Amino acid sequence: MIELVLVTGGSGLVGSAIKRVAKEFKSFFVDAQMDFVFTSSKDYDLELLKDCQEMFDDIQPKYVVHLAACVGGLFKNMNNKVEMFEKNMMINHNVIKCCHDFGVKKTICCLSTCIFPDNIKYPISEEDLFKGPPHNSNDAYAYAKRMIEVQSQAYRDDFGDNFISIIPTNIYGPNDNFSLENGHVVPSLIHKCYLAKQTHDPKGALDEVTAEPFTVRGTGKPLRQFLYSDDLAKIILKILFAYTGNDTIIISPSEEHSIGELAESIASAVGYDKPLKYDSSYSDGQFKKTADNSKLMKFFVNDTFKFTSLEDGLKETVKWFEENYPNVRK
């Protein structure tokens, strides 16, 4: 009998990555005869409990990877706090409740490192999650995502449900949302750099005097750990089928890069050879949120897994963006 793995948010950045890499990981689930079902907001409105119940009733999943969320970059989090809080609270409550009500064997929920306390000693570990308030730039979103772990722990305590939270760092890759205003930092900067390159193109309508420079909001100094989406997808599948614990796990490479370094790498991948501009009138947000990946690395001991370098991941992401422009999400 085939057992189904439901992936909510299946058309998004990480869901699309799971589709790409699942074939490589058949060895983890072929004996159990498992298959994947990917759903999106076009299929069910997970803010509505009745829609969520309908989804579980239709699919009857035995495993769930919960990726669906209302997400955005720094400025969306700062300017749309009610939306970010309420939508995520409703989505997460409904999915986790249905995972219990429909007897799901194992559930993985995806959080974010932005939910960690602002004033905390670095590197951040899984045990630091509730040791203080998050940064005020994304507090509404962060508190809503923290509640996933609270609700999951409650179901573990009361009913013994196998609900696991993972906390990835800044994810990027093909099929991201490349919105200039509401996208995360990597896709937003890729889109900006692409447009800046077009205005400098000698075949274009604009000359060097009127061309728009590649402009990065903020000083470019904040530090982040960037995680390629295919790497995260592989780790999720291994946790789903090979991890026997239920502890929360941070998913992150060890290396940190400044936003300035990121922008320079994007410019190189896009082929933009003009000077970059930094607009310090915009907020930098949280300066750093260094995550400790030691628990993850212990899980991967004796494994051949290696994280994709930022340079290689950006090349693949830019290639996908250019090949699919103008049909990308933006």
Hey, which residues are catalytic here? Answer: 141
List all residues 6 or more positions away from 57 whose beta carbon is below 8 Å from its beta carbon.
102
Residue at token pair 């409650």: 154
Q: How far is it, in rounded angstroms, from Cα 146 to Cα 278?
A: 33
List all residues 6 or more positions away from 230 whose beta carbon is below 8 Å from its beta carbon.
17, 20, 21, 173, 308
Residue at token pair 């992936």: 7
List all residues 6 or more positions away from 75 whose beta carbon is below 8 Å from its beta carbon.
181, 182, 217, 282
What does DSSP say about strands 226-228 and 170-172: parallel, antiparallel, or unpaired? parallel
What 144-147 contacts at long range (C-beta under 8 Å, 24+ apart), as own/partner pairs, is 144/84, 144/85, 144/86, 144/88, 144/89, 144/92, 145/69, 145/88, 145/92, 145/111, 145/112, 145/114, 145/115, 146/111, 146/115, 147/89, 147/92, 147/93
Hey, what are 204's tokens? 């274009």
Count of CB atoms situated within 10 Å of the CB of 26: 11
Hey, what are 132's tokens? 């203080």
Count of CB atoms situated within 10 Å of the CB of 49: 14
What does DSSP say about strands 215-217 and 277-279: parallel, antiparallel, or unpaired? parallel
